[in-house]
């Protein structure tokens, strides 16, 4: 199990932080770009569905969505938002084991994020082998012509955002093959949420090797998403 399971207090402040403009690309822009990539694919799995902000817009556009997340407090919010419109699973992607296969898997600020300024990959999971394990699990849950779509995330940097009530701030510490992030939410000068997370970061060569070993090949990248196709010769499921 990963060290980065969002706690209940961070989950409580999540939507307000997104509303305050954490990601310069709005969910609406992300959904429009994602629908173009999905084309006729409708059966989709979201990796790290969180509180369901992206999911809600995808289902409204006719996507048959399932989502996985290992944080009970994030999933609780997703369930309240989405009701029975989305199948939710409390699972770590490292041991992903779902009863269905999907035409696409998407990670939008989820388990994996593509880095804006280079073909790097950031991950909620640390370590090459563990990431390979997670990506292999994802490949096993895709149809032979399935795709993995990973959003190009905002730059990781120290940041403070004004929330409707209070303030969100993050401090980022780069340490070679990983970075650490302190999240703090304050209200009325009091700290109401606090978490320290460790993220993996993989360079271009490592990302290409990891994707290939997991059964994916890069098939395109634009300002919003990096796309990986499942290798046609994969017979994992
Ligand atoms: C930043 S949130 C993104 C939520 C949502 N996709 C969105 O766009 O708002 C990242 C989510 O990924 C989940 N996550 C991180 N690592 C995971 C893992 N190994 N397995 C399952 N979920 C994971 C976290 O619990 C968190 O809810």
Asked, for residue 183, whether it belongs to a domain, the answer is no
pLDDT band for position 12 (50/70/90)?
confident
36: containing domain:
8-154+201-230
Asked, for residue 178, whether it belongs to a domain, the answer is no
d(CA 62, CA 120): 31
Would you say the CB of residue 183 lies under 6 angstroms from ligand 1?
no
Q: Who contacts 19 (Cβ-Cβ below 8 Å, separation ≥6)?
A: 163, 164
pLDDT for the residue numbered 23: 77
Minimum-distance ligand 1 atom for the alpha carbon of 107 = 6
Half-sphere exposure of 146 (CA within 13 A, CB side): 25
Q: Tens digit of pLDDT for each residue in 114-128?
A: 998 776 899 999 999
Task: For residue 105, list its beta bridge partners.
Answer: 45, 148
d(CA 200, CA 210): 13
Task: Let me know: does 237 contact 224? Beta carbons within 8 Å.
Answer: no
Q: Which whole number is the average pLDDT over 193-203?
A: 92
Q: Tens digit of pLDDT for each residue in 149-191?
A: 999 998 889 999 999 989 999 999 999 889 999 999 999 989 9
Q: Of 103, 35, 38, 105, whose CA–CA distance to 68 is shortest?
A: 105
pLDDT band for position 3 (50/70/90)?
low
Asked, for residue 176, whether it belongs to a domain, the answer is no
- The residue with greater pLDDT, 40 or 236, is 40
Asked, for residue 93, whether it belongs to a domain, the answer is yes
Q: Which whole number is the average pLDDT over 59-86?
A: 97
Would you say the CB of residue 93 lies under 6 angstroms from ligand 1?
yes
Residue with tokens 């060290």: 3
CATH number assigned to the domain comprising residue 206: 3.40.50.150
Q: Indicate the top mutation candidate among 48, 77, 78 to test ligand 1's pocket, ranked by most ligand atoms within 8 A of CB.
A: 48
pLDDT for the residue numbered 233: 52
> Is residue 211's pLDDT more than 70?
yes
Task: For residue 69, list its beta bridge partners.
Answer: 90
Q: Of 88, 34, 94, whose CA–CA distance to 63 is shortest?
A: 34
Asked, for residue 71, whether it belongs to a domain, the answer is yes
d(CA 142, CA 66): 13
d(CA 166, CA 188): 6
Lowest mean pLDDT among 152-156, 202-206, 230-234: 230-234
Minimum-distance ligand 1 atom for the alpha carbon of 27 = 8
pLDDT band for position 1 (50/70/90)?
very low
Average pLDDT in the chain: 92
% of the chain beyond a pLDDT of 70: 95
Asked, for residue 128, whether it belongs to a domain, the answer is yes
> Is residue 64's pLDDT more than 70?
yes
Q: Of 6-10, 25-29, 125-129, 219-223, where does the model show the most confidence?
A: 125-129
Number of folded domains that form the chain: 1
**Ligand 1, atom 14: nearest CA belongs to which residue?**
48
Would you say the CB of residue 103 lies under 6 angstroms from ligand 1?
no
Task: For residue 4, list its beta bridge partners.
Answer: none
Asked, for residue 138, whether it belongs to a domain, the answer is yes
Asked, for residue 164, whether it belongs to a domain, the answer is no
User: In sequence order, what DSSP letters do the residues of the chain get, joined into one string?
Assistant: --S-PPPHHHHHHHHHHHHTTSSSS-HHHHHHHHHHHHTT--EEEEES-TTSHHHHHHHHTT-EEEEEES-HHHHHHHHHHHGGGSEEEE--GGG---SS-EEEEEESSSSEEE-TTSS-EEESS-SHHHHHHHHHHHHHTEEEEEEEEEEBPPP---EEEE-SSSEEEEEEEEETTEEEEEEEEEETTEEEEEEEEEEEEE-HHHHHHHHHHHTEEEEEE-SSEEEEEEPTT----
pLDDT for the residue numbered 236: 46
Q: Of 101-105, 150-154, 218-222, where does the model show the most confidence?
A: 101-105
């Amino acid at each position: 199990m990963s060290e980065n399971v969002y706690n209940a207090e961070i989950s409580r402040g999540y939507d307000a932080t997104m509303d305050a403009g954490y990601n310069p690309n709005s969910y609406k822009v992300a959904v429009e770009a994602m629908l173009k990539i999905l084309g006729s694919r409708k059966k989709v799995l979201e990796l790290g569905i969180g509180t369901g902000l992206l999911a809600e817009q995808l289902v409204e556009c006719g996507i048959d969505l399932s989502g996985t997340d290992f944080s009970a407090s994030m999933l609780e919010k997703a369930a309240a938002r989405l009701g029975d419109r989305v199948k939710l699973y409390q699972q770590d992607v490292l041991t992903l084991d779902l009863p269905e296969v999907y035409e696409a898997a998407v990670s939008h600020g989820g388990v994996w994020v593509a880095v804006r300024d280079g073909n790097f990959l950031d991950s909620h999971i640390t370590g090459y082998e563990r990431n390979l394990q997670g990506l292999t699990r994802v490949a096993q849950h895709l149809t032979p012509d399935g795709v993995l779509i990973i959003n190009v995330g905002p730059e990781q940097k120290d940041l403070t955002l004004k929330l409707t009530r209070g303030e969100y701030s993050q401090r980022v510490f780069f340490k070679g093959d990983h970075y650490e992030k302190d999240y703090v939410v304050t209200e009325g000068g009091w700290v109401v949420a606090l978490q320290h997370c460790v993220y993996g970061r993989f360079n271009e060569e490592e990302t290409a090797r990891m994707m290939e070993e997991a059964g994916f090949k890069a098939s395109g990248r634009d300002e919003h998403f990096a796309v990986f196709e499942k290798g046609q010769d994969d017979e994992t499921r």
